[in-house]
Amino acid sequence: MTPASSAAKRVVVLLSGAGSNLQALLERSLGGQVVRVVSDQLGAGALDLARARNVEAVAVDRREFADRQAWEKALREVVTEAAPDVVVLAGFMRILSGAFVSRWPTLNVHPSLLPAFPGAHAVADALRHGVKVTGATVHFVVEQVDAGPIVAQESVAVRSNDTIETLHARIKAVEHRLLPDSVTLFCHDRLAIDGRRVRILP
Ligand code: GAR
């Protein structure tokens, strides 16, 4: 094994949706390897996307568990088995407990300029509020939703004729750069958390 490969970070991706951010991650070398993809939905197309690239893909469907604790315990087992150095939430639409998110460094991508418009409807909320600029954020995950230290942000202008779909498409185009860039920095040990600030090391 070369020194570089022995140091390669193990990345586990959690998602709920279409998986365009997963695709962006799989297209980049990252300085690490996506070793497992876990969806909270059976039959998510993103699982096929992973398998097509020979990445293990597993569903831990919330509907198959009596309560949130039982579901999160099963999810934790599936993630633990993959021995991640970092967990990446790439469109994962469920809230994880503080115990879960403090177990591994966890990055999340969110379709707004946090702290504006946290939560599950960030694009619709930004349009409804009438902001002229929104964007994408990658941040470390803490127990409070969408509140962790920010790694990267980039703005996206809102157009007067935007719908949720057109605006979200332009935000996703930004996310597809910002998220792999941030994971790459993590995999090269270049992110240092200093209180609320994330410093990017040379
Ligand atoms: C992305 O826009 C991501 O920022 C958002 O879900 C989308 C997933 O798209 N996440 C959240 O809203 C989390 N609060 P994808 O499945 O095509 O990657």
DSSP for 58-98 reads EE--GGGSSSHHHHHHHHHHHHHHT--SEEEESS--SPPPH
- Asked if residue 127 is part of any domain, the answer here is yes
Q: Best of 23, 175, 182 to mutate for ligand 1, by most ligand atoms within 8 A of CB? A: 175
- For ligand 1, say whether the CB of 7 is within 6 Å of any of its atoms: no
- Asked if residue 3 is part of any domain, the answer here is no
- For ligand 1, say whether the CB of 135 is within 6 Å of any of its atoms: no
Q: Best of 41, 93, 110, 166 to mutate for ligand 1, by most ligand atoms within 8 A of CB? A: 110
Last residue of one domain, picked from the residues 52, 84, 104: 104
Quick check: is 110 catalytic?
Answer: yes
Domain count, the chain: 2
Both 94 and 137 in one domain: the answer is no
- Asked if residue 181 is part of any domain, the answer here is yes
Q: For 95-131, what is each residue's pLDDT tens digit?
A: 999 999 999 999 999 999 999 999 999 999 999 999 9
Q: Is the pLDDT of residue 2 over 70?
A: no
Return the pLDDT at 173.
98
Return the pLDDT at 5.
44
Q: For 8-29, what is each residue's pLDDT tens digit?
A: 999 999 999 999 999 999 999 9
Distance of alpha carbon 33 from alpha carbon 30, whole angstroms: 7
Q: How far is CA 160 from CA 16, 59, 111, in A?
A: 30, 39, 18
Return the pLDDT at 3.
44
Q: Is the pLDDT of residue 143 over 60?
A: yes
Q: How many CB atoms lie within 10 A of CB 63?
A: 8
Distance of alpha carbon 202 from alpha carbon 146, whole angstroms: 27
- Asked if residue 56 is part of any domain, the answer here is yes
15 vs 3, higher pLDDT: 15
- Asked if residue 1 is part of any domain, the answer here is no
Which residue segment(s) compose the domain that 76 sits in? Answer: 10-104
- For ligand 1, say whether the CB of 110 is within 6 Å of any of its atoms: yes
Both 120 and 187 in one domain: the answer is yes
pLDDT band at 7 (very low <50, low <70, confident <90, very high): confident
Last residue of one domain, picked from the residues 86, 104, 122: 104
